[in-house]
């Protein structure tokens, strides 16, 4: 009930604000430490301070070993449901521990030890989750790369992380095609100046890959041999401040940012969130329909549910088309899911195909309690539709790759607060969320501004970027001294509810995937016929936003614009990957600019989105905007 919820939330938040160390010391009791924390926060360490600087523990131990030791070895740890391969499999905590310890021994045999990086390039299969845990077990730092990225993006990550070993699957399976990962991986390695010593390849029957002699090993052969030899690696003692993983995310340039996650703070934050935010109990089935390539997958497919002792559902499929828009309801019923976490775009996809949710009829969803949404703004239409169809609370929450868990949410575990459409509700303990103007001054309630978080960030959030403390400080901490810049804009209302309205940088959100328009512009600009370009995100009913590239072609003799536009679409797919969903390249004579030469992307976006627009006073030549509107109308975009 909301009154109880409101007071329990208010109590938790005020408790944290009054004494953050006591709050996080209490939360840290949910973790099984090899050496429990004596110091909770060291303000002098790291870029803005470090959490639990003297504690020692292991994430894999907390996710697997301790549950087996507590007698829950026969409980399901992971349910794999793969409509794209027609496979279902359940792994108990006991089985998962065995598989993970064996794989960890294989990694050790390949020379991987504490602090070494291991790149994981795998789809949603149980082995991928074991791979991440196996790295955590021996103190190796994993870096998972999403399968929808092209070889060039993979190569960039290999060069930055310098992995000793790469763990890969031979292919991923999309509803319309098999995606051969192995040739992409080989190409990426050939492009990269840094080469891994070894690759361990999981051969899938849908598309096995050719192994490179002397470098590649067959996963199953290596694991079977290690198991036959009775090998199993123990958990390494890790400092709470040791990195657990690096996860690359889009920045404002084509060069991705390597977000670093630590060991101890992350465990504490995830454990707290499962209980108090998601309201999940050990043994319950929790389903995050995302991908391990994203932060949502790291935190809520892999680590949080297992640290809590819940059962995580690993779904290799889509909301629609595998085989239909009833797939989510089938999975919830069949596996007794109590909470689903997905992106609004997935619901929009279902709503588009089955607006009255006819495919849900006859399904027993009686155990299903809550739907959680994140990854992009939860538009009120989608939230209302889901509330009406599912008759459970639909909880929006807001977070970023950088934070690792929610900045603002409706803490179901403490008691649901009244839902306000369009708002991810209230700041979680640990986050002092403020709205400021350009001079870093707080603005009154209801006024839009930059959303910032007062330092220090709570446990679980990034301490830095991989080997780039300066870039971290410059990108996130310099603009608003004393605060972390979220790069989102929005406002707080009179009740302290947060409203997140959009980014302040050039990041766009396509089907819940975060992409840099700057990165796409770099690709377009590399085409020999392109003189100038600008990429903006335009509204899309299904994906929220899709990229649209405006190009000015070089003067002189060249091929027809429509031929070049097709090449540009292909180029972005080849360099960034299909996930960019770049399908619109539009040739224009000129780009609208201010007198100082800045491209007026904001106004172009308004025109493309059919939003009211005015001619900015600073524009160099107002006629260009009308030209752009004309071209977009011709193409059926504006």
Q: Which positions from 12 through 31 interact with ligand AMP, judged by CB under 6 A?
A: none
Partner that binds at residue 424, options ligand COA, ligand AMP, none, CB closer than 5 to 8 Å by kind: ligand AMP
Nearer to ligand COA, 42 or 540 (CB): 540
Q: Which of residues 359-378 bind ligand AMP (CB under 6 A)?
A: 374-378
403 half-sphere exposure, CB direction, 13 A CA radius: 25
**Helix locations, 278-417, DSSP H:** 295-297, 304-308, 327-335, 344-353, 380-390
Cβ 377 to ligand AMP shortest distance, Å: 4
**Beta carbon nearer to ligand AMP, 62 or 400:** 400
Per-residue mark of binding to ligand COA, 84-123 (x: CB under 6 A): ---------------------------------------x
Binding mask 246-265 for ligand COA (x = CB under 6 A): --------------------
Minimum CB distance to ligand COA, residue 383 (Å): 15
* 379 interacts with ligand AMP by CB under 6 A: no
d(CA 486, CA 462): 12
> In the bound complex, what is the minimum distance in angstroms from residue 538's beta carbon to ligand COA?
15
C-alpha 525/C-alpha 316 separation (Å) is 36
Whether 91 and 326 have beta carbons less than 8 Å apart is answered as: no
- Does 343 bind ligand COA (CB under 6 A)? Our answer is yes
Rounded distance between C-alpha atoms, residue 264 and residue 244, angstroms: 9
With CB under 6 A as the contact rule, the residue among 275, 351, 360, 514 that binds ligand AMP is 514
Q: Using alpha carbons only, what angle is made at residue 570 by residues 205 and 632, rounded to the nearest 5 degrees?
A: 130
How many CB atoms lie under 10 A from the CB of residue 67? 27
| CB contact set of 616 (below 8 Å; sequence gap of 6+) | 594, 600, 603
Q: C-alpha angle 45/39/465, rounded to 5°? A: 35
Q: In sequence order, what are the residues at sequence separation of 6 or more whose Cβ sits closer than 8 angstroms to the Cβ of residue 61? A: 32, 34, 137, 235
Which residue in 101, 270, 349, 508 binds ligand COA (CB under 6 A)?
349
Beta carbon nearer to ligand AMP, 462 or 564: 462
Give the span between the Cα atoms of 357 and 4, in whole angstroms: 33
With vertex at residue 90, the alpha carbon angle to CA 303 and CA 177, rounded to the nearest 5 degrees, is: 85
Burial group, residue 190, by CB count within 10 angstroms (0-12, 13-18, 19+): exposed
Could you tell me which residues come within 8 angstroms of residue 183 by beta carbon, excluding any fewer than 6 positions away? 209
Q: Indicate the residue among 171 and 189 with the shorter CB distance to ligand COA.
A: 171
Distance, in Å, from the CA atom of 433 to the CA atom of 426, rounded to the nearest integer, reads: 9
Compute the radius of gyration of the chain from its Cα atoms: 24
Which residue lies nearer to ligand AMP by CB, 424 or 592? 424
CB of 62 to ligand AMP, least distance (A): 24
Residue 174 binds which entry of ligand AMP, ligand COA, none, CB below 5-8 Å type-dependent: ligand COA
Q: Does 400 bind ligand COA (CB under 6 A)?
A: no
Beta carbon of residue 296, minimum distance to ligand AMP (angstroms, whole number): 7
- The string over 177-188, giving b where at least 16 C-beta atoms fall within 10 Å of a residue's C-beta and e elsewhere, is eebbbbebbbeb
Neighbouring residues of 547: CB distance < 8 A, sequence distance ≥ 6: 508, 510, 515, 517, 520, 535, 536, 537, 538, 572, 580, 581, 582, 584
What is the distance between the alpha carbons of residues 240 and 528, in angstroms, rounded to a whole number? 50
User: DSSP for 59-118?
Assistant: HHIIIIIHHIIIIITTSEEEEEEETTTTEEEEEEHHHHHHHHHHHHHHHHHTT--TT-EE
Least CB distance to ligand COA at residue 111 (A): 29
Query: How many other C-beta atoms can be found within 10 angstroms of the C-beta atom of residue 356?
Result: 9
Using the rule CB under 6 A, give the single segment among 151-159, 279-287, 391-399, 537-545 that binds ligand AMP: 391-399
How would you list the strands of the sheet with 483-492, edge to edge? 433-436, 449-454, 483-492, 498-503
CB of 550 within 8 A of CB of 586?
A: yes
Contact flag: residue 315 with ligand COA (CB under 6 A): no
- Which of 413, 512, 519, 592 touches ligand COA by CB under 6 A? 512
Shortest distance, CB of residue 484 to ligand AMP, whole angstroms? 12
List, in sequence order, every residue forming a beta bridge with 50; answer none if it has no partner. 42
Q: Is 320 in the site for ligand COA (CB under 6 A)?
A: yes
Contact characters 457-496, ligand AMP, x per CB under 6 A:
-----------------------------x-x--------
Give the phi and the psi of residue 220 in degrees, each rounded to 5.
-65, -40
Cβ nearer to ligand AMP, comparing 509 with 517? 509
Least distance from ligand AMP to the Cβ atom of residue 509, Å: 5
- Report CA dihedral (499, 504, 509, 513) to the nearest 10 degrees: -100
- Could you tell which of ligand AMP, ligand COA, none binds residue 491, using a CB distance below 5 to 8 A set by kind? none
**Minimal distance in Å, beta carbon 224 to ligand AMP?**
37
Q: Is 423 in the site for ligand AMP (CB under 6 A)?
A: no
**Among ligand AMP, ligand COA, none, what does residue 172 contact (CB within 5–8 Å per kind)?**
ligand COA
Phi, psi of 626 (to 5 degrees): -65, -35
The pattern of x and - marking residues 179 through 198 that bind ligand AMP according to CB under 6 A reads: --------------------
Minimal distance, residue 168 CB to ligand COA, in Å = 12
Q: Which stretch, 72-80, 275-283, 344-352, 469-477, contacts ligand COA (CB under 6 A)?
A: 344-352
Q: How far is the CB of 146 from ligand COA (least distance, A)?
A: 6
The binding site for ligand COA (CB under 6 A) comprises 123, 147-148, 172, 174, 179, 290-291, 294, 296, 318-320, 343, 345-346, 349, 374-375, 511-513, 578-579, 581
The binding site for ligand AMP (CB under 6 A) comprises 249, 295, 374-378, 396-401, 424, 486, 488, 500, 503, 509, 514
């Amino acid at each position: 009930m909301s009154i109880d919820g409101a007071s329990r939330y208010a109590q938790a938040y005020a408790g944290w604000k009054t004494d953050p160390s006591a709050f996080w010391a209490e939360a840290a009791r949910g973790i099984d430490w090899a050496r429990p924390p004596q110091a909770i926060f060291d303000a002098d360490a790291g870029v803005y301070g470090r959490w639990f600087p003297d504690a020692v523990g292991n994430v894999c131990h907390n996710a697997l070993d301790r549950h087996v030791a507590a007698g829950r070895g026969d409980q399901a740890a992971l349910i794999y449901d793969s409509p794209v391969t027609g496979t279902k499999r359940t792994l108990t905590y006991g089985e998962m521990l065995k598989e993970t310890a064996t794989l960890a021994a294989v990694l050790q045999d390949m020379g991987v030890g504490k602090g070494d990086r291991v790149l994981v390039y795998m789809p949603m299969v149980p082995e991928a989750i074991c791979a991440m845990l196996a790295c955590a077990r021996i103190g190796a730092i994993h870096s998972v790369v999403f399968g929808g990225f092209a070889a060039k993006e993979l190569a960039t990550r290999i060069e930055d992380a310098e992995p000793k070993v790469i763990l890969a699957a031979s292919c991923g399976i999309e509803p319309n095609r098999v995606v051969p990962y192995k040739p992409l991986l080989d190409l990426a390695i050939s492009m990269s100046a840094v080469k891994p010593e070894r690759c361990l390849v999981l051969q899938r029957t849908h598309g096995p890959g050719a192994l490179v002699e002397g470098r590649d090993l067959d996963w199953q052969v290596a694991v079977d041999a290690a198991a036959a030899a009775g090998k199993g690696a123990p958990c390494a003692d890790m400092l709470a401040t040791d990195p657990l993983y690096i996860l690359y995310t889009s920045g404002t340039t084509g060069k991705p940012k390597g977000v670093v996650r630590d060991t101890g703070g992350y465990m504490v934050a995830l454990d707290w969130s499962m209980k108090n935010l998601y309201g999940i109990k050990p043994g319950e089935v929790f389903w995050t329909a995302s991908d391990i390539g994203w932060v949502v997958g790291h935190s809520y497919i892999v680590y949080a549910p297992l640290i809590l002792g819940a059962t995580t559902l690993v779904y290799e499929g889509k909301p629609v088309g595998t085989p239909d828009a009833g797939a989510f309801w089938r999975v919830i019923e069949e596996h007794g899911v109590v909470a689903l976490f997905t992106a609004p775009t997935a619901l929009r996809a279902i709503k588009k195909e089955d607006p009255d949710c006819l495919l849900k009829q006859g399904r027993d969803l009686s155990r299903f309690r809550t739907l959680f949404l994140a990854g992009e703004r939860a538009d009120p239409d989608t939230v209302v539709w889901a509330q009406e169809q599912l008759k459970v609370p639909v909880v929006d929450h807001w977070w970023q790759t950088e934070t690792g868990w929610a900045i603002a949410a409706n803490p179901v575990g403490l008691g649901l607060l009244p839902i306000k459409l369009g708002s991810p509700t209230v700041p979680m303990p640990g986050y002092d969320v403020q709205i400021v103007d350009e001079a870093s001054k707080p603005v009154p309630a209801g006024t839009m501004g930059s959303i910032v978080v007062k330092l220090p960030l709570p446990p679980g959030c990034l301490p830095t970027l991989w080997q780039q403390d300066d870039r971290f400080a410059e990108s996130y901490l310099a603009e608003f001294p004393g605060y972390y810049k979220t790069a989102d804009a929005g406002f707080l209302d009179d009740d302290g509810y947060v409203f997140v309205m959009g980014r302040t940088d050039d990041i766009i959100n396509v089907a819940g995937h975060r992409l840099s328009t700057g990165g796409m512009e770099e690709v377009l600009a590399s085409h020999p016929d392109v003189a100038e370009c600008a990429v903006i995100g335009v509204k899309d009913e299904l994906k929220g936003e899709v990229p649209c590239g405006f190009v000015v072609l070089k003067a002189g003799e060249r091929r027809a614009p429509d031929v070049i536009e097709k090449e540009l679409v292909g180029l972005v797919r080849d360099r960034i990957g299909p996930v960019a969903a770049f399908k619109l390249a539009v040739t224009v004579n000129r780009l609208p600019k201010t007198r100082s030469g800045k491209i007026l992307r904001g106004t172009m976006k308004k025109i493309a989105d059919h939003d009211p627009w005015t001619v900015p006073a600073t524009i160099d030549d107002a006629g260009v905007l009308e030209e752009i509107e004309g071209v977009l109308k011709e193409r059926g975009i504006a």
